[in-house]
Amino acid sequence: MRSEILELIFAGESESLELKTSIRDPQLLAKLIGSFANAQGGKIVIGVKEPPEVVGVDEVLVRRVYEAARKRLAPEPNTKLSIIETEGKRVVVIDVERSAEIVLSEGSAFVRAGTMTQPMAWTQMRQHLPSQPSSATIESLTKAIERQSKLIEEMHEQIRESKTWQALWKERGIGILLGVLASVIASVVYARF
């Protein structure tokens, strides 16, 4: 396993690998875990900086942050925390399995796209829905879409304040996305009843 981890580290971040020097924020770790679970799964390696260099990690702190992050996820995806010694230092590896359900991090859905963690689009959310969603699933999804809309609106406001031509195009794109989200909520709710 040690040589596999070194190979992964030196290959660099990808859609299935996130490298962190350290992590102290359970909310950030929950977003990362949720984003991998909502995509294809992956690994989070803590104790590495870029360009790839093993720097080691405070195991006690990472375990504490990991446990707090798991409590922020619903439903909690399958994960496994391992400690591996490599190059005389310890790193933490969190393996995250792909989830069949949408995993929410404090009520919002995130997904891994390339090397980025970003809010999950409505089309991605729809792919996770069963053909006959229950009332609880619809309610949970509606709340998640509302939170996603709020996040998008906050990004929209930040872009609007920057007042560049690129910002204006992004603003228009976000407006379209908000309209699409509203139509998805309506179609999911009306299809149920």
Residue-wise pLDDT tens digits, 1-19: 667 777 878 888 889 999 9
Domain containing 8 — which CATH number?
A: 3.30.950.30
Q: Give the pLDDT confidence of 132-166 residue by residue, as tens digits.
A: 767 776 777 677 777 767 777 776 677 667 666 56
pLDDT at 180: 62
Residue 103 lies inside a defined structural domain of this protein? no
pLDDT at 34: 94
Question: Which domain, by its residues, includes 126?
Answer: 121-192
Same domain, 81 and 158: no
pLDDT at 107: 77
Confidence of residue 101 (pLDDT cuts 50, 70, 90): confident
pLDDT at 41: 94
Cis status of the peptide bond prior to 130, with omega within 30 of 0: no
Residue 110 lies inside a defined structural domain of this protein? no
Same domain, 139 and 67: no
Residue 47 lies inside a defined structural domain of this protein? yes
The answer to whether residue 115 scores a pLDDT higher than 90 is: no
What is the rounded average pLDDT of the residues 26-47? 94
The answer to whether residue 86 scores a pLDDT higher than 80 is: yes
Same domain, 74 and 38: yes
pLDDT at 63: 95
Residue that terminates a domain, selected from 59, 79, 96: 96
Same domain, 20 and 91: yes
Partnered with residue 48 across adjacent β-strands are 54
Give me the number of domains the chain comprises: 2
What residues contact residue 57 under an 8 Å CB cut-off, 6+ apart? 22, 46, 47, 89, 90, 91, 92
